[in-house]
Structure 1
Amino acid sequence: MKAKTLLGVILGAAAGLAATTAALVSLGNRRVDKWETLTQDDAADGDFVTLRDGTRMHYIKRDSATVGQSPAVSGQPSAVILIHGLMDSSEQWRANIDALAHTRRVWAIDLIGFGFSSRVTTPTYSMKMFARALRDFMDAQGIARASIVGHSLGGAIALEFAHDFPARVEKLVLIAPATYLLQFRPELKMAQHLPFVPRALIGWTMTHRRARERALRDALGDPAHFDPEELARRTRPMRVRGTADALVAMLGSPHGSDLPQDLARVTAPTLIVWGEKDRAVPVRHGAYHTRALPNAKLVIVENAGHIPQYEYPDKVNELLLRFLDQSD
């Protein structure tokens, strides 16, 4: 084959690939535009508070009055704040919040970028940003100190908060915290160095029903716990406008953290809960946390996956209540 002919074949193939890629990107972006049809105010079930930086945080609050209980203690009940994981929302705590609220004031928050909270579309996300937002939320709600319960990403944020604002933390509960994830997942380390993540790629994943279903199934220890209605509830906040752009910004933000090397400074009483069959953040990470945190206890929930509070709510609620009720 002559050089000119070979060059023509290569250029033709490159042009075809570029055209195909452009078509897929365009289609992915159109899928996002058709998918993101909700606004914060139209879809939210709870209330909003405006933080210092102007972002709006959505939250659900429960206490003894809202769950039909007489106050069990005199004076102001203690405060508990629930923080969800990646690609989730306050909806995650549906099976837990009322059980905790019988004797406490409980807030389940939507992190900035998730649930029905504001979508920040600049690459300014970090553990410290989330921790500052939690501090601002507590200030706005008049919460001086609280027990912080965090799952996965929310667990890492809870640790960052306890590290940065120790006086604001009464107790910590970490459910499969993703603190060490970047150290043990090489593909996530590689993702840190990508120059950008196309909105269309996220759009294909977010809008594809089977991809969403697979994500929930993979998070479960027992496939019998899969519930299509639960999937629909968890999916709804992903349809808020700006979600894909916010995820692009998150993936483009700096992910490095010194927290895993500095956990000894987190001295709050800490309960660590892990699902025995967690494939997202393996249970061996629990041992790392227990060794690093000076005042921590690890409990493993048999047969549970990455979301034990959803799969086995009665077991986890009992663990939480027993721990929160203990005097130091």
Structure 2
Amino acid sequence: MQYEIKQEEKFRFIEEGEGEPLVLLHGLFGELSNFSGQIETFRHTHKVVVPILPLLDLDLLHTTVSGLEKFLNKFIEYRDYKSINLLGNSLGGHVGLMHVLRHPERIKSLILAGSSGLFESGMGDTYPKRGDYEYIRKKAELTFYDPSIASKELVDTLYETVNVRIKAVKIIALAKNAIRNNLGEEVSQIKQPTLLIWGNNDTITPPFVGQEFLKLIPNSELHFIDKCGHAPMMEKPEEFNSILLKFLRKLNEPAAVA
């Protein structure tokens, strides 16, 4: 299903439905289609918002996790969202973590799926290899348990991106910055209820990363999805949505009266 991309000031975003905001943050190679299964399901119960993060549009100095978080904060303030359920995949999760730590006042809950911020399998100094289509295809396939999900369209888009030199430089800069920007000493300060959804077969942020987040974030719960890689919301949308729906419903249940 196609959704209207709104353009206001310097922000481009999708906004569907009414209710509490459910803000979805994509990863380094993510795009709006990554969340099509969530937009379609949750627009009936929430205001689903997907901002397009300026991964390759910031100047090189600000092409960092912190630079993306500042952009996100300006977007949230501009739209005046409150009581936000903030969901991030991969680098988007990292941006979400940093935002909750810097600006917790508007965030009701945090949802992380294969998030960086503690550990991730680095792409290495040689990545991305411009001009090597097979290399790009294999890298894309590593994101998923089922490699067929890395469609030709997805690989073509990735290949086209990394063959523009400045974009390739920015991708490497962001990937390296995410690895250096370890939040392990800070995430224990997060007070919001936190849902962790991890692919059991994630090779980029392996299952032990989800377990480590569970140990460090006080009010957190962890769910694994089997036969699933680094992007569970794409690979197993029904299971992902079921876990998320239960979590969101539980947040709105009145506290038990003793």
* TM-score normalised by length of structure 1: 0.67
Output the CA distance in 2 between the equivalents of 1:232 and 1:61.
27
In the alignment, is residue 59 of structure 1 matched against residue 6 of structure 2? no
Higher normalized helix content (fraction of residues): 1
Identity rate, percent = 20
Shift in Å, 1:57: 3.3
Output the CA distance in 1 between the equivalents of 2:169 and 2:110.
32
Judging changes above 3 Å, is the alpha-carbon distance between structure 1 residues 281 and 81 closer, same or farther for their aligned structure 2 residues?
same
2:256 corresponds in structure 1 to: none
Between 1:122-131 and 1:153-162, the stretch displaced more is 122-131
Contact 1:124 1:249 in 2 (8 A): no
Larger Rg: 1
Shift in Å, 1:316: 0.6
Q: 1:58 is matched by which residue type in structure 2?
A: R
Judging changes above 3 Å, is the alpha-carbon distance between structure 1 residues 252 and 274 closer, same or farther for their aligned structure 2 residues?
closer
Give 1:201-212 correspondences, 5 Å limit. Answer: 202=128, 204-205=129-130, 208-212=132-136
Q: Secondary structure at the match of 1:318?
A: helix
1:109 to 47, 51, 62: 51
Shift in Å, 1:272: 0.1
In the alignment, is residue 284 of structure 1 matched against residue 208 of structure 2? yes
5+ residue gaps in structure 2?
A: 254-258
5+ residue gaps in structure 1?
A: 1-43, 51-55, 65-76, 192-196
Judging changes above 3 Å, is the alpha-carbon distance between structure 1 residues 255 and 310 closer, same or farther for their aligned structure 2 residues?
closer
Q: 1:59 is matched by which residue type in structure 2?
A: F
1:304 to 203, 228, 231: 228
Contact 1:149 1:155 in 2 (8 A): yes
Shift in Å, 1:60: 1.6
Deviation track 1:99-133 (CA, whole Å, cap 9, x = no partner) reads: 1111111111221225xxxx123222333322221
Judging changes above 3 Å, is the alpha-carbon distance between structure 1 residues 303 and 211 closer, same or farther for their aligned structure 2 residues?
same
Output the CA distance in 2 between the equivalents of 1:175 and 1:144.
22
Judging changes above 3 Å, is the alpha-carbon distance between structure 1 residues 223 and 253 closer, same or farther for their aligned structure 2 residues?
closer
1:21 corresponds in structure 2 to: none
Judging changes above 3 Å, is the alpha-carbon distance between structure 1 residues 222 and 256 closer, same or farther for their aligned structure 2 residues?
closer
Judging changes above 3 Å, is the alpha-carbon distance between structure 1 residues 167 and 98 closer, same or farther for their aligned structure 2 residues?
same
Contact 1:113 1:243 in 2 (8 A): no
Shift in Å, 1:232: 4.9
2:92 corresponds in structure 1 to: 154
2:32 corresponds in structure 1 to: 90
1:130 corresponds in structure 2 to: 68
Contact 2:91 2:178 in 1 (8 A): no
Q: Between Structure 1 and Structure 2, how many residues are aligned? A: 250
Q: 1:262 is matched by which residue type in structure 2?
A: E
Contact 2:133 2:159 in 1 (8 A): no
Q: Secondary structure at the match of 1:60?
A: strand
Deviation track 1:183-236 (CA, whole Å, cap 9, x = no partner) reads: xx5x67x85xxxxx9xxx74x43x543233212211111235443345456767
Shift in Å, 1:241: 9.8
Output the CA distance in 1 between the equivalents of 2:199 and 2:65.
24
Judging changes above 3 Å, is the alpha-carbon distance between structure 1 residues 48 and 181 closer, same or farther for their aligned structure 2 residues?
farther
1:180 corresponds in structure 2 to: 118
In the alignment, is residue 313 of structure 1 matched against residue 237 of structure 2? yes
Judging changes above 3 Å, is the alpha-carbon distance between structure 1 residues 129 and 266 closer, same or farther for their aligned structure 2 residues?
same
Q: Secondary structure at the match of 1:95?
A: helix
Q: 2:8 is matched by which residue type in structure 1?
A: V
Shift in Å, 1:244: 3.3
* TM-score normalised by length of structure 2: 0.84
Q: 2:80 is matched by which residue type in structure 1?
A: G
